Amino acid sequence: MHGRGDPTRGPGGDGGGGEPRDLVRALYLGLLRLYPAGFRERFEADLIQVFDDRRREARFSGAWGGIRLVWFLLGDFVRSVPMARQWAERMRRRRDGQGRRERIMGNLLQDLRYTARMLVKNPVFTLAAVGTLALGIGLNATTFSAIHAILLRPLPGADAPEELVQMYRVWGGIEYGSNSIPHFQDVRDRTGDVYEDVAIWTFAPVALSADGQTERVMPLIVSANLFQTYGVQPLLGRAFIPGEEDRGPGAHAVTILGYGFWQGRFGGDPGVLGRTIDINGHPFEVVGVSPPGFRGPASFAEAPFYVPVMMQREVMPGSDLLEARGNNSFNMVGRLRDGRTVEQAQQAMDALLVQLREEYLDQYDDQLGNKLVLQSEAGIHPSFATASMGMSAVMMAVVGLLLLIACVNVANLFLARAQDRRKEMALRLSLGAGRGRIVQQLLTESIVFALLAGGAGLVLAWFATGALNAFRPPMDGPFAFYIELDRTVLVFTTAISVLAGILFGMVPALQATKPDTMTEVKGDASAGSRRSRLSSGLVVFQMALSLLLLISSGLFLRSLQGAAQIDPGFDDPSNLVTAAVDPGLLGYEEAEARQILDRLMEEVAALPEVTEVGFASWLPLGLSNSDRGIGIPGYEFTENERRSISYTYVTEGYFEAMGVRFVEGRSLRRGDDENAAPVLVVNQRFAERFWPGESAIGKVVETAGQEWEVVGVVETGKYQRLGENPTEFMFIPKRQRFYSGTTLVARTPSDPQAVLGRIRSVVRGIDPDMPVYDLRTMENHMGMALLPSRLGGIVLGLFGLLGLTLAAVGIYGVMAYSVSQRRRELGIRVALGAARGEVERMVLREGLRLAVVGAAIGLVGAFGAARLVQGMLYNVSALDPFAFGLVPLLLVGVAALAVYLPARKAARADPVGALRAE
């Protein structure tokens, strides 16, 4: 070895070097700061060592040597500082990138492995936690996907649905009015600068004959450019041809089949093109099949087939809409040109209205304006927007609450387990594991649980949406839902799962890492108190939520009961049967149709089981409703006053069969026909509005271009909804205004089902091809009016029961756990002579206190919730004493049971065993 410094001479102790070299050394130490910190930390001692070694070399001694040393060191710095910096930079990058990533990923993998072991090791815990959550998540996913499919999602299958605008007309009292065919033609031809295309559509009932069987179905009657407007390519064949098939009434007996109908009726046969289907006795050639993704322009229905609007007279016999500017029954939709906005379209429509008012003097006087709604914001129909969004919000809130209850339960499970793992956690904390690290581990666990539950929830949702899609509401029309678990639903479900995981994982995670490590390691029996305080809070919360749900469902159930007590304005609906026919659909002219209907009435009246029979064009409390503008001599309507009145056409016998009571005047007679003077029956509300304090008999109503004399006044009933406020109504003699669509009502004191069978044979005897539909009792018919309330009651009732079960399980779990934690304390009490009954009462009292506090909080919430659902309730106060009195009692009762079992166990505790266990 060369030049090894003499160990007896310390650095700086060289007498020969003296001051200058000390100075050089000091300088060198200062200049070391030029190196990056990482390099210095690692090599500083070695650098100084080598410096000292060098300094002692002969060539660097003496004054010149000192100068040479400084020069030498400067050169050394110039070369080595960049080297050191690069080295430090590489080290830092390696540590940051690879190191940190590896550490976190490594931790995550470790946590995941640990979690997987836990899942398998505690199958009961896993099942309980995952099952509870899956229920909550599944409910949420189902509800969300239904709302998404019906209200939020843009129309499936349509190209660029954001460019589609629905157009409505505003009249006094009507915000979203429909459109007539001539009006549509003007809009289509005169708004080309804002719209690429404008189309119309409506559903209409027809008789479809095939294989000797005739049935009533509801196709869509559409303008020829409908498919182009929606940007839909037919799966097979062609679309209707704009410019050709929207000209020439009756000239285009062609049809495009809906995908579902094609699959169901024709087995998806591609050879269907060129075949004919028989609509109202007219052959229509199949020219196309619509693609599977496009179910038509309505999100809640799927049309069996499409027919061009030029065939309206054949499809809707007895009415001629092609020239009827005032007959508004079509939905109108336009596709905006590129870069055009709804506002510009609105201006164009308003400008067009001004022109149309001048061109068609009387026809547009009543129209106040136009209302344009983006397709994506229209939902089912914009006039229901508030109600349907409100209902959706209530549903989402309810299922959200249920998920919250489930989360609370699982949080409690986790908390209980965290208690068992406190020693593990405390040990890990004292061994230097960071709090963040442990929180990470616990959150990983809970999120894995939640994602598992999310997967299970999706499976539940898959079944539930399948059931919803198969559900056909008892309503007249091709109503069908098309609910999918699409990407939005998946994202939603994943999001709520992770959120739920964080929610129920966070509390136990933070709790677990908070303990005073020393007492935990030593094993302190009293340490459970903090945990039980927390879970007590959760139990209170849970009780409150369950109470809220149960009271809401109680209100709906009470509302159902209340609805049964509402007087609909007619007698016992269970002994009233209905049946609908429409001879016009089969091409019968008015005279023939009248004969057929007369024969039907006579033959049904002759049935021994039938006491009264009558016809109406449509019945109250169904979905159909018509109104028409009226004038009353001597009565001035104010500007915004609604001048259209709901009505139906009825024959003699209708009021008698229904059991509608007359206040004054007479009922209709067979003689009130086309040859007699026009007469009218109105309801009491009508009479009071227009002739207050006078008799309505003999008064005149102007409508449909005629004057009608009021001959009778009936009690005001319910016409659209059982919950509606009293509304004006008129009954126009069906014999004076012929309308082919006819619903027969017959009262029978005997078995209604037998009578329904007899009526069917009567119809078949008259014309075997005539479809008869809506064969049911009036009670079933009314079921539709009660459907929202009934569904609400059932769904909320189920949810409430679920919530109650979850809450009961939760309170039982907490109490059982708390008792097992306090075995020693309770054992000592028993050992010191406390009566077992006393211990039992003490535990019971504590549990019940939680239940009562929770119930009290829930009551406050329920008052608020009740106000929200008030509009959906029939004949029930939002503060219904039964719901608000009984439900809390029920809940506290269930809670008492859940507390009683652990309490009894506590009282039976063997004091000696309990003491020894510690």
Partner 1 sequence: MPDEARLNDVLPLTSTVFHVLVALAEGPRHGYAVAQEVEELTEGRIVMGPGTLYGSLSRMQEAGLIVEAENPGEDGVHAERRRYYRMTPLGTAALRAESERLLRAARVARSRLGA
**Interface contacts to partner 1, rule CB under 8 A:** 1-5, 7, 35, 39, 42-43, 45-51, 53-54, 72-73, 75-77, 79-81, 83-84, 87, 90
Q: In whole angstroms, how close is the CB of 81 to partner 1 at the nearest point?
A: 7
Q: Among residues 88 and 391, whose Cβ is nearest to partner 1?
A: 88
Q: In whole angstroms, how close is the CB of 36 to partner 1 at the nearest point?
A: 11
Q: Among residues 56 and 734, whose Cβ is nearest to partner 1?
A: 56
Q: Is 605 exposed, middle or buried (0-12, 13-18, 19+ CB in 10 A)?
A: middle
C-alpha pair distances (Å), 484 with each of 258, 363, 393, 466, 572: 19, 44, 20, 9, 41
Q: How far apart are the first and last CA of the chain?
A: 70
Residue with tokens 């997967």: 455
Q: Among residues 47 and 711, whose Cβ is nearest to partner 1?
A: 47
Q: How many CB atoms lie within 10 A of CB 501?
A: 25
Q: In whole angstroms, how close is the CB of 409 to partner 1 at the nearest point?
A: 56
Q: In whole angstroms, how close is the CB of 51 to partner 1 at the nearest point?
A: 5
Angle between helices 435-470 and 385-420 (to 10 degrees): 140
Q: In whole angstroms, how close is the CB of 64 to partner 1 at the nearest point?
A: 16
Whole-angstrom distance, CA of residue 65 vs CA of residue 383 = 100
Whole-angstrom distance, CA of residue 347 vs CA of residue 344 = 5
**H/E element holding 645?**
strand 644-650
Q: In whole angstroms, how close is the CB of 50 to partner 1 at the nearest point?
A: 4
Whole-angstrom distance, CA of residue 621 vs CA of residue 637 = 28
Whole-angstrom distance, CA of residue 688 vs CA of residue 692 = 4
Please check whether residue 796 is in contact with residue 552, taking contact to mean a CB–CB distance below 8 angstroms: yes
- Both structure tokens of 855: 């119930």
Q: In whole angstroms, how close is the CB of 100 to partner 1 at the nearest point?
A: 20
Q: Among residues 91 and 857, whose Cβ is nearest to partner 1?
A: 91
Q: In whole angstroms, how close is the CB of 408 to partner 1 at the nearest point?
A: 55
Q: Among residues 75 and 631, whose Cβ is nearest to partner 1?
A: 75
Whole-angstrom distance, CA of residue 205 vs CA of residue 307 = 12
Q: Among residues 87 and 738, whose Cβ is nearest to partner 1?
A: 87
Q: Among residues 30 and 705, whose Cβ is nearest to partner 1?
A: 30
**Residue 525's closest CA among 38, 231, 892, 917?**
917
Please check whether residue 237 is in contact with residue 289, taking contact to mean a CB–CB distance below 8 angstroms: yes
Q: Among residues 89 and 602, whose Cβ is nearest to partner 1?
A: 89
* Three-state secondary-structure class, residue 60: helix
Q: Among residues 73 and 403, whose Cβ is nearest to partner 1?
A: 73
Q: Among residues 39 and 731, whose Cβ is nearest to partner 1?
A: 39
Q: In whole angstroms, how close is the CB of 235 to partner 1 at the nearest point?
A: 58
Please check whether residue 439 is in contact with residue 559, taking contact to mean a CB–CB distance below 8 angstroms: no
Q: In whole angstroms, how close is the CB of 156 to partner 1 at the nearest point?
A: 56
Q: In whole angstroms, how close is the CB of 83 to partner 1 at the nearest point?
A: 4
Determine the Cα angle at 383 with ends 164 and 644, to 5°: 120
Q: Are strands 164-171 and 367-374 parallel, antiparallel or unpaired?
A: antiparallel
Q: In whole angstroms, how close is the CB of 915 to partner 1 at the nearest point?
A: 59
Whole-angstrom distance, CA of residue 510 vs CA of residue 513 = 5
**H/E element holding 217?**
strand 213-217
Q: In whole angstroms, how close is the CB of 102 to partner 1 at the nearest point?
A: 19
Residue with tokens 């640990």: 114
Whole-angstrom distance, CA of residue 637 vs CA of residue 142 = 48
Q: In whole angstroms, how close is the CB of 11 to partner 1 at the nearest point?
A: 10
Q: Among residues 46 and 338, whose Cβ is nearest to partner 1?
A: 46
- Both structure tokens of 628: 């028409």
Q: Are strands 662-665 and 706-714 parallel, antiparallel or unpaired?
A: antiparallel
**Residue 227's closest CA among 217, 214, 242, 213?**
242
Q: In whole angstroms, how close is the CB of 54 to partner 1 at the nearest point?
A: 7
* Three-state secondary-structure class, residue 646: strand
Q: In whole angstroms, how close is the CB of 159 to partner 1 at the nearest point?
A: 56
* Three-state secondary-structure class, residue 679: strand
Whole-angstrom distance, CA of residue 694 vs CA of residue 687 = 8
Q: How many CB atoms lie within 10 A of CB 651?
A: 27
Whole-angstrom distance, CA of residue 352 vs CA of residue 171 = 16
Q: Among residues 43 and 662, whose Cβ is nearest to partner 1?
A: 43
**Residue 710's closest CA among 693, 727, 729?**
729
Q: Among residues 36 and 861, whose Cβ is nearest to partner 1?
A: 36
**Sign of the alpha-carbon torsion through 234, 240, 242, 243:** positive
Whole-angstrom distance, CA of residue 328 vs CA of residue 341 = 26
Question: What DSSP character marks residue 150?
Answer: I
Q: Which residues share a beta bridge with 69? A: none
Q: Among residues 80 and 344, whose Cβ is nearest to partner 1?
A: 80
Q: In whole angstroms, how close is the CB of 18 to partner 1 at the nearest point?
A: 22
How many Å is the Cα radius of gyration of the chain? 41
Q: Among residues 5 and 587, whose Cβ is nearest to partner 1?
A: 5
Residue with tokens 């839902």: 481
- Both structure tokens of 44: 């500083």
Q: Among residues 73 and 301, whose Cβ is nearest to partner 1?
A: 73
Instruction: Give the distance from CA 108 to its chain's centroid.
Output: 36
Q: Among residues 68 and 737, whose Cβ is nearest to partner 1?
A: 68
Q: In whole angstroms, how close is the CB of 431 to partner 1 at the nearest point?
A: 29
- Both structure tokens of 510: 């933070």
Q: Among residues 50 and 787, whose Cβ is nearest to partner 1?
A: 50
Angle between helices 823-831 and 778-821 (to 10 degrees): 70
